[in-house]
Amino acid sequence: MRGPLSLDRVGGFFVRATRQTESEMSKDWNKRTKLVHGGVRRSQYNEVSEAIFLTQGFVYDSAEQAEARFLKAGPDEFIYARYGNPTVAMFEDRIAALEGTEDAFATASGMAAVSGALTAMLRAGDHVVAARALFGSCLYVLEEVLTRYGVEVTLVDGTDLDQWRAAMRPDTKVAFFESISNPTLEVIDIAAVAEIAHAVGASVVVDNVFSTPVFSRALDLGADVVIYSATKHIDGQGRALGGVILGTRDYIRGVVEPYMKHTGGAMSPFTAWIMLKGLETIDLRVQAQADTALVLAEALADHPKLSRVIYPGHADHPQRALTLAQMDKGGTMIALELAGGQEAAFRFLNALEIIILSNNLGDAKSIITHPATTTHQRLPAAQKAHLGISPGLVRLSVGLEDRRDLLADLMQALEQA
Ligand SMILES: *Cc1c(COP(=O)(O)O)cnc(C)c1O
């Protein structure tokens, strides 16, 4: 019997890697094994590290084969890299195995995934209910793009289930939210929102970046579609932009793929290779980052210069129980509010020596951001206040440095705040 990673010899000329079906890629494998071996396709050279198939096209053996492939490409038959590519397919299979979905479509960025997933599903006359506390670009897609094409959007306070209930209508097609909001780390009850949405026949689309694929139980909790910006924890080393849409095979191949392959949001093979390598270590990295985040949140909790320390895994977080029910740990992000407002926040940021000022997250390097003046600068003041994005708030993405050094850096910078 063919093992999960074995190969088919084709015509004695080259060896074509075969796509791993679920039955081949053992479902019994545990997470870390799937992250290292999942989705592997090997060329005739039997390379150890996944090959980068840096090609936009594929040669057909005959005109008849080309015709047949355009009619219906098999799961391991490729036509053009905008439609699919072996390196990209390896990444898609590996992340789908991790998330536990039937299939995945890799995209050029996280926003290509969000806009692609939503646009592929929706048409004029449809209604979307979304949580208000969203990444700025997600808000733009909902409020400025989809509405232009006749989709109606209702924004609700994502933590208030009554608002979700009240907003649902018979024509509601999608409920959309970030499972943990940026930057104030509010946790949305995925199971409860899914029940409300499913009652009117709507699909649940979750932007799951802050939960990370390591801690995600979104599918078990009732999400229909899960989206990641791979730019964040999946790469984890700040190199490349990417994204991925995960769901059932019917949804991914029947709804997402036709839309994405014709509109051009595909992931490049080189990016897919970076993301494959990122997945090999993601569990180790994210577990360590989350452990450090908890230690830091606990150490900072009563600091006199801080008016708030927000960490979903901390005992003080109002949604700690929900967080732990939805994830194993509290994630890799912390929000801190300087009691002295923006001036104190800026002094604090400028005094940091290890933690860098930037706006990515999920990186090996700890990164800190002042949302009110950067990522959320364009929000009206009232909206910032409503979302808790105060002048003193900073968002910390905890990296892989030694936690004693991170704590010392935070403490010395707080002294100067
Ligand atoms: C970063 C991010 C995105 C967008 O991802 P890109 O890869 O930057 O396009 C979407 N949603 C959330 C929650 C994010 O953090």
Q: Where are the domains of the chain?
A: 80-279, 282-415
Distance CA 42, CA 50 (A): 7
Residue 26, pLDDT score: 65
**What is the distance in A from the centroid of ligand 1 to the CA of 61?**
41
- Residue of minimum CA distance from atom 7 in ligand 1: 110
How many angstroms does the Cα of residue 237 sit away from the middle of ligand 1?
15
CA of 229 from ligand 1 middle (Å) equals 5
Task: Enumerate residues lining ligand 1, CB below 6 A.
Answer: 109-111, 114, 135, 137-138, 178, 182, 207, 209, 229, 231-232, 241, 243
pLDDT at position 237, please?
97
What's the 33 CA to ligand 1 centre distance in angstroms?
A: 27
CA 67 to chain centre: 37
Same fold, 80-279 and 282-415: no
Determine the CATH number of domain 80-279.
Answer: 3.40.640.10
Q: How high is the pLDDT of residue 25?
A: 60
Tell me, in angstroms, the distance from the centre of ligand 1 to residue 121's CA: 20
Q: Which atom of ligand 1 is nearest to the CA of 210?
A: 13
Which of 107, 111, 140, 397 to probe ligand 1 with, by most ligand atoms within 8 A of CB? Answer: 111
Cα separation, 413 vs 144, in Å, equals: 40
Give the right CATH number for 282-415 from 3.40.50.620, 3.90.870.10, 3.90.1150.10, 3.40.1160.10: 3.90.1150.10
CA dist 28 and 38 (Å) reads: 12
Cα 288 to averaged position of ligand 1 atoms, centre (Å): 22
How far is residue 269 from each of residues 15, 46, 194, 266, 399, measured CA to CA in Å?
A: 20, 19, 34, 9, 27
Q: Which of 195, 198, 187 is nearest to 157 (CA)?
A: 187
Structure pTM?
0.93
Q: In which element (H, E) is residue 165 found? A: helix 161-167
Chain centre to alpha carbon of residue 109: 10
What atom of ligand 1 comes closest to residue 111's alpha carbon?
A: 9
Token pair for residue 58? 């594929």
Ligand 1 atom having least distance to the Cα of 114: 10
Q: How far is the CA of 240 from the centre of ligand 1 (A)?
A: 12
pLDDT score at 300 = 98
Which of the residues in the chain have pLDDT under 50?
1-19, 21-23
Q: What is the pLDDT of residue 28?
A: 82
Query: Measured from the CA of 112, which atom of ligand 1 is nearest?
Result: 9
**pLDDT at residue 8 in the model:** 40
- Give me ligand 1 centre to Cα 376, in Å: 13
- The closest-lying atom of ligand 1 relative to the alpha carbon of residue 242 is 7
Task: Go through the chain and tell me how many residues it has.
Answer: 417
Residue type, 71: L
